[in-house]
């Protein structure tokens, strides 16, 4: 009986893509994010891997990946942090008053670069979508995600690699 | 010498231009394009010596822009600066006639390495 159950489980598991955590780990996501920060935000802009609660008002940017693994890479931070990031990315071209269009652009581009590099370690072929920005990121599956929490200039931000697969919920041993 | 920087992100265009300066290419004229179609038109009107283009852009992708340029007889040196650097994309870029593909995130050294021979 147990042999049959095992075979059934193997067959079911084989029909599904591997869990997100089996494809990419926290250390890899952290390293990808750090590289993006050092190159785009500034060479002295270190990220400290310490979890801290996000503020009440947050902004997220994300890119979707569609392929053997389908989901999204979501960057979330406080609104003030998003403004500071935009100023840092624009550098000397940052205007006195940063417009929301620039914030969306800057935060979206960070998600795009992190997402593009996460896509490279996931199974392919897959397609990377254009970056999107908003207060409500796409709802992913918390149980099938990899989440990294860091501090930038003392402010918290998170990067989540989250699957949108619903089928995995039913994957339980028989 | 004139360099056309094509990216739908204004922030990323600024970062590319800043990195060009850090890499020592600060005496070149820079022209910006906000998508592939804009880049295609500005290659015709501005006659740049090099195009640095994002891949994933609305209206016309960087790859479609390069293919359209080559299809119209343009031989302008063309390189991609994109957030994806898979072997498949590098092959597509090379097949379409791109000189190189720089994956984001990049550094000034990466730019120097790829641009040295092109903007000598």
The total of other beta-carbon atoms located within 10 Å of residue B111's CB is: 23
Under 8 Å between Cβ of B54 and B12: yes
Give the torsion through C-alpha atoms of A40, A41, A43, A49, to 10 deg.
Answer: -110
Identify whether B120 is part of a domain.
Answer: no
Q: For chain B, how are helix, strand and coil distributed in percent, rounded to 5?
A: 45, 20, 40
Which CATH number fits the domain that encloses residue B93? 3.40.50.2300
A151 near B CB under 8 A: no
Instruction: Give the burial class of A7: count Cβ atoms within 10 A of its Cβ; 0-12 exposed, 13-18 middle, 19 or more buried.
Output: exposed
**Contact across the interface for A109 and B9, Cβ inside 8 Å:** yes
Asked if pLDDT for residue B40 goes beyond 70, the answer is yes
Q: What CATH topology corresponds to A2-166? A: Chemotaxis protein chec (3.40.1550)
Q: Is A14 in CB contact (< 8 Å) with chain B?
A: no
Q: Identify the three-state secondary structure at position B64.
A: helix
Chain B nearest CA to A41, separation (Å): 9
A120-137 per-position pLDDT tens digit: 999 988 999 999 999 988
Of residues A18 and B62, more confidence is placed in B62
Q: What is the CB neighbour count within 10 angstroms for residue B98? A: 22
Instruction: Report pLDDT for A11.
Output: 39
pLDDT surpassing 60 at residue A113: yes
The domain of B12 spans 2-115
B18, part of any domain: yes
Query: In this structure, is residue B36 part of a structural domain?
Result: yes
What pLDDT score was predicted for residue A4? 40
- Closest CA relative to residue A120, chosen from A28, A48, A42, A9: A28
pLDDT band, very low/low/confident/very high, at B4 (cuts 50, 70, 90) = very high
In this predicted complex, what is the ipTM? 0.87
């Amino acid at each position: 009986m147990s042999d049959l159950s095992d075979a059934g489980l193997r067959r079911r598991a084989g029909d599904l893509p591997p869990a997100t955590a089996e494809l990419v780990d926290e250390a890899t996501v952290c390293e990808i994010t750090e590289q993006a920060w050092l190159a785009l935000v500034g060479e002295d802009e270190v990220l400290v891997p310490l979890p801290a609660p996000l503020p009440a008002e947050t902004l997220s940017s994300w890119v979707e990946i569609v392929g053997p693994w389908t989901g999204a890479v979501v960057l979330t931070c406080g609104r003030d942090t998003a403004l500071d990031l935009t100023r840092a990315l624009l550098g000397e071209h940052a205007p006195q008053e940063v417009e929301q269009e620039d914030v969306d652009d800057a935060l979206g581009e960070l998600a795009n670069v992190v997402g593009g590099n996460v896509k490279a370690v996931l199974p392919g072929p897959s397609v990377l979508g254009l970056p999107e920005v908003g207060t409500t990121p796409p709802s992913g599956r918390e149980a099938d995600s990899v989440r990294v929490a860091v501090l930038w200039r003392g402010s918290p931000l998170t990067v989540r690699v989250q699957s949108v697969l619903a089928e995995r919920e039913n994957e339980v041993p028989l | 010498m004139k360099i056309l920087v094509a990216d739908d992100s204004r922030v990323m265009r600024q970062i590319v231009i800043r990195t060009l300066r850090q890499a020592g290419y600060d005496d070149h004229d820079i022209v910006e394009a906000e998508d592939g179609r804009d880049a295609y038109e500005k290659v015709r009107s501005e006659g740049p010596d090099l195009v640095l283009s994002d891949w994933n852009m609305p209206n016309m992708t960087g790859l479609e822009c390069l293919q359209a340029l080559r299809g119209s007889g343009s031989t302008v040196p063309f390189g991609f600066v994109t957030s994806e650097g898979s072997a498949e994309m590098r092959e597509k870029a090379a097949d379409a006639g791109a000189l190189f593909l720089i994956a984001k995130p990049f550094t000034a050294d990466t730019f120097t390495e790829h641009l040295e021979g092109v903007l000598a």
